Amino acid sequence: MRKTDSLQNLIWYLARRFTLFVGSLVAASALVFLLLRMLPGDLAQAKLGIEASPEALAQTRTEFGLNDSLILQFVKWLGNALSGDLGVSMLTGANIAQEIVNKATVTLPLIGLASVLALVFAIPLGMYSALNFRRRKGIGIAAISQLGIAIPTFWVGVILVTIFSVKFQILPSGGFPDAGWSSWSGCLESLVLPAITLALGQIAMLMRFARSATIEVLQQDYFRTARSTGLTRGQALRVHGVRNSLVPVVSVLGMQIATLIVGAIIVEHVFALPGIGQMLLQDVSIRDYTKVQGTVAATTAAVFFVSFLIDALLGFLNPKSRASL
Amino acid sequence: MAKSCLKHLAKTSLICASLLFATGQIAGASAAEAGSLKTSSTKPNAKINSTITIGFTLEPVSLDISGVAGQAIPQVLLNNIYEGLLKVENSGKIVPSLAESYSASANGLVYTFKIAKAKFHDGANLTSADVVWSFNRVLDPKSTAVLPTQKQQFSTIASTTAPNASTVIITLKNRDNDFLFNLTQRGGVIFKSGTTDFATKANGTGPFKLGNWNRGNSITLERNEEYRGTKALSKTVIFRYILDATALSNAILSGQIDIMSTVQKPELLSVFKGRKDLKISSGTTNGEVTLGMNNSKAPLNNTKVRQAIRQAINKKALIKTAWAGYGLEIGSFVPPTDAWYEDLSKIHPYDVQAAKNLLKQAGYPNGFAITLDIPPAPYAEASQEFIVASLKKIGINVTIKPVAWGEWLDRIFTKSNYDMTIVAHVERSDMSIYADPNYYFRYNSAEYQALIKKAGSARTPAAQAESLKKAARLLSSESVSDWLWLIPNLQVVKKSVTGFPQNSVGDAYSVAAIAKD
């Protein structure tokens, strides 16, 4: 009986979460759609240039369905988008979904690499800092992490390039191999500095979570019990503490996906990486409405989807969280 | 022609002023050496199989050279992949390209072109039928596949005919001195007859074939080994697109690119000066930074007052302060790449005492107050303080008023409701704007208008140049505006690289002569 209740609870929880996911996605798409339409300038004009005749403009508008009502345009677009078809760019004729997938081969590895770096450095540093809680070393690390949060991403990128590319010329200052991942070592080389740049802010922040989570573990009864069996603090922490302090860190990292994507836009710009962020900036500058719309909607969907997954995961792991919507 | 300013302004307001400048469209940018008008010489021992990588900011949105707007498309394709009947050299000289030779009838209406023995990249031979097809495509009134600007440029064509496979005759409705230049630009490109895909393929006749286009990153050009003339010196040329100015500059500092084809702001050059392996190239553009004065409004309707203002501004010092010393003092409205260019900077030179005397003669011994409208363009913002200080010395109190492009276009450009303003005019061969009494300069001179008209109907290029020279002198002697400097075409190049185009004289960035030691 209680088991069925619990399962039902979980299903209800997931259904509510999913509805919320779809609802916010539609709302966000509508917002993106409207905001882009509200900007001054006209797509037909952007395509044909400033001296286009009124007839040519009218013809282009009809071709692209720009004369339909906003709502009709939105519904048409949303319908296609939900089936994975983001249409073609009005300016370049390129398939938008395909372009996004292409560019994702740069952006996803960048975000992935940055996340791995962030975890690999943040957790040991955070734990070390917690073990030295209220000691000079611990406070020093905490202070550095504060600094890490405060420094803007692009500035870190510029400094790294100045040192490693311009001064010592050991890593490329930007760009990505034309051959893509078939020359994987070149790709990795191109991603080292950008990933470090993107990871630094994350390391600083995750470290603080790891630190406070560890401090909490250190104060738990089970930890004291573990110590009483003769384990040192370090041993006890490795055996009983790591997993417990990891949970909040990983869930925070999951929620950081949006920050990472925004960070990736800046990092790709600074390092001239042909990823989704760079593409988005370029499309904004040439006023490729349909593509900007598709890209923003796709990345928004990705962010919502990841947070939905994490919610679902937390729902499985922690029954308490199911109560709150 | 009166559209020069309108065009860039409208573009600017349509998109965004700063971004546009960053892309170099206002400056008409791409690059070359003040004074020296030659393409930098190519050393004979240059290696012929090297790869050259050139950094640009804006990437083409499509390969459709005649149907999609934007300078980035002809920059990579024109003269490299596609060719026209004629091409313009970096010195501004128009020379044969796909036309081996050409002649014009005495009345200037019938042009006969002898077509070269050329092959398209797909192996087909070029014939006069391709030329006729290409021009008919541009002129087809029903077609929207070609940009309106190009249609406009060739609207003087009455007919294009091919008496045999290697001859094309183009007949004009009326004389058009821009016709030959227009043939060298994007609208004059010759396609293979029957081509349908212009956006993703480029089947040209040029010294390079289109290689891989990695969107968002680069376009690779591969040498056309079957090219009819002198083959390209480098085997592979990569146009790399880097949107961010700092990233672009880092790319050349770290050795990833060989040429940085555009320097957005001259103050960025300081980082390159200490580098032994790099050189800074400063060429000419068509961009005259113009201190516009309202010739219809007192006190600026007085020639002596305008001359006083000109003589009060030390252009050399201004260029040093505002544009890091790059840029050429021109003294009128003509860039050095035009055939009618003369150095007129000695007319009404910097002389504060003379300026004060002129104001006295004009009846303003104690000066007067005036407004200077500053649009959000780097060159205008960089020079405003200098102009205020210079004019203060002769008693003119200048109030600076920053204006957005929208307001500039409406109040100044359209309604001429202003005293002074600063804008760069980037269109080629745009002297006729001063012949329009309603243009925002409000300069109404029958003598000038007659000279422009005479130039327009001149039968030979020499006669045209003669009239335009006189016109430029007239503008300068009457101080219709002040011309602060010619925007330089700044590039940073590895010292080992030769043969790059230094001046910006059209939309092409020709790379066939580039080589690396």
- Interface probe for A, chosen from B65, B154, B217 (most Cβ of A below 10 Å), is B217
Residue A220 sits at φ, ψ, to 5 deg, of -75, 155
pLDDT in tens, A150-175: 888 778 888 898 899 888 888 888 88
- The answer to whether B485 and B319 have CB atoms below 8 angstroms apart is yes
* pTM of the predicted model as reported, rounded to 2 decimal places: 0.79
- With CA atoms as reference, the chain B residue closest to A283 would be B61
pLDDT in tens, B332-385: 999 999 999 999 999 999 999 999 999 999 999 999 999 999 998 889 999 999
Residue A101 has pLDDT above 70, yes or no: yes
Q: Which of residues 138-157 of B touch A (CB under 8 A)?
A: 144, 147-149, 152
Contacts of A176 in chain B (CB under 8 A): 217
pLDDT in tens, B496-516: 999 999 999 888 999 999 999
| Residue A178 Cα, gap to closest chain B Cα (Å) | 7
Q: Quick one: angle between helices B461-477 and B446-456, nearest 10? A: 160
Q: Read off the pLDDT band of A213 (50, 70, 90).
A: confident
For residue B131, give the nearest of B93, B164, B109, B94 by alpha carbon. B164
Give me the percent of chain A exceeding a pLDDT of 90.
10
Q: Read off the pLDDT band of B307 (50, 70, 90).
A: very high
Q: Which of residues 458-487 of B touch A (CB under 8 A)?
A: none
For residue B440, give the nearest of B468, B462, B408 by alpha carbon. B408
| Residue B152 Cα, gap to closest chain A Cα (Å) | 9
pLDDT in tens, A254-304: 778 778 888 888 899 889 899 999 888 888 877 787 888 899 888 888 888
Q: Which of residues 30-69 of B touch A (CB under 8 A)?
A: 58-59, 61-62, 68-69
Contacts of B215 in chain A (CB under 8 A): 94, 99, 102, 274, 279
- The answer to whether B320 and B328 have CB atoms below 8 angstroms apart is no
Residue A144 has pLDDT above 70, yes or no: yes
The C-alpha atoms of residue B486 and residue B476 are separated, in whole angstroms, by 15
* Maximal C-alpha separation, chain A: 87
- The answer to whether B486 and B335 have CB atoms below 8 angstroms apart is yes
pLDDT at position A303, please?
86
The C-alpha atoms of residue B116 and residue B94 are separated, in whole angstroms, by 16
The C-alpha atoms of residue B379 and residue A86 are separated, in whole angstroms, by 41
- The answer to whether B130 and B193 have CB atoms below 8 angstroms apart is yes
- The answer to whether B375 and B405 have CB atoms below 8 angstroms apart is yes
Contacts of A162 in chain B (CB under 8 A): 250
Query: How does DSSP assign B121-175, residue by residue?
Result: TTSPBP-HHHHHHHHHHHH-TT--SS-HHHHHHTTTEEEEEEEETTEEEEEESS-
The C-alpha atoms of residue B76 and residue B394 are separated, in whole angstroms, by 49
Contacts of A100 in chain B (CB under 8 A): none
pLDDT at position B7, please?
42
Name the residue facing A48 among B10, B148, B216 (closest C-beta). Answer: B148
User: Looking at the DSSP assignment, which residues form a beta bridge with residue B259?
Assistant: B54, B493
Q: Read off the pLDDT band of A66 (50, 70, 90).
A: confident
Residue A203 sits at φ, ψ, to 5 deg, of -55, -50
- The answer to whether B462 and B455 have CB atoms below 8 angstroms apart is no
Residue B332 sits at φ, ψ, to 5 deg, of -160, -155
